[in-house]
């Protein structure tokens, strides 16, 4: 679907509460996705920019700390996503290490 400036109302399936990172399935997608609010997306972008800046400045420790913080947040989001799929008997659409 391309963005052409028009808004369209559709029904979606909601698998978690409607929080800042709701798990939803859009038609006609087979697997759900994660709806990330704009302010949360901006925060993720800022975190990555901080990592790049620290790397550019040669501050490996700062880059490592910022990357670890971002990774922890993404791990939580991924755990929420996989838990929602498992709760609804939907297969996980990617490899998970045992």
pLDDT of residue 2: 64
Query: For residue 25, which of 85, 87, 94 has the smallest C-alpha distance?
Result: 85
Q: Locate all alpha helices (DSSP H) within 1-98, ordered by sequence.
A: 38-56, 60-87
pLDDT tens digits, residue range 10-36?
A: 999 999 987 788 999 999 999 999 999
Cα–Cα distance between 74 and 39 in angstroms, integer? 15
Provide the whole-model pTM.
0.84
Q: What is the mean pLDDT of each run of 10 residues along the chain (98 residues)?
A: 79 87 93 93 96 97 96 94 95 89
Crossing angle, helix 38-56 and helix 60-87, to 10 degrees?
A: 150
In the chain, domain spans: 13-87
Cβ atoms of residues 11 and 70 within 8 Å:
no
Cα–Cα distance between 72 and 56 in angstroms, integer? 23
């Amino acid at each position: 679907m391309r963005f052409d400036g028009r808004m369209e109302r559709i029904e979606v399936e909601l698998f978690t509460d409607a929080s800042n990172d709701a798990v939803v399935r859009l038609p006609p997608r087979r697997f759900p996705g994660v709806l990330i609010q704009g302010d949360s997306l901006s925060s993720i972008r800022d975190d990555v920019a901080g990592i790049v800046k620290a790397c550019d400045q040669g501050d490996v420790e700062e880059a490592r700390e910022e990357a670890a913080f971002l990774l922890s947040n993404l791990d939580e989001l991924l755990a929420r996503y996989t838990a929602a799929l498992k709760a609804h008997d939907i297969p996980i659409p990617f490899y998970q290490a045992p």
